[in-house]
Amino acid sequence: MTLDEREALLAHAAQRRQKILDALEKLEQRKQSKKVEEAALLELINRLEALQSKIAAKPTGRPPTWKGPAGCETVEIVEAMRQQGASIIDALRWLRAKPPWREWWANRSEEELQTRYQEALRYWEPLFTEFREIEDAMSESHADDSPLPDVRRLVREG
């Protein structure tokens, strides 16, 4: 083997070594990033648990209907219909024709229903907003930019 061939092999080996070191550095950076992401997810989980405890039914006394599951479902349906272009009163009229709302709201005027809906919205909207923020943060997916496949490929190329 000539001196030039040896130098070329050494240069090639040095390049491969540097690529492996760079890939390992990227792995370490990704590891640190994962730790930060994990801490952020744990914070989100804690927020979610706190939110769930706010929503949980209280064991004493009867909660107002609008702060219970019926109010939550009413707000969800009316807000979904509003996003599709319906007015609050139109959505409430539509709900009033459906069971179980038909039985619940039989003796209530449209003005009273609108007032009660606004009460429910004031109660539930902050919780919905926080829940959406938590869901959005948890569903953010990061592209896997892990250099691990590159390290494996470099090692296989030998």
Contact indicator for 90, 139 with CB cutoff of 8 Å: no
- Nearest C-alpha neighbor of 23 from the set 149, 154, 151: 151
The pTM (predicted TM-score) of the whole model is 0.51
Q: pLDDT tens, 119-138?
A: 999 988 888 888 778 777 77
Q: pLDDT tens, 82-108?
A: 999 999 999 999 988 888 888 888 888
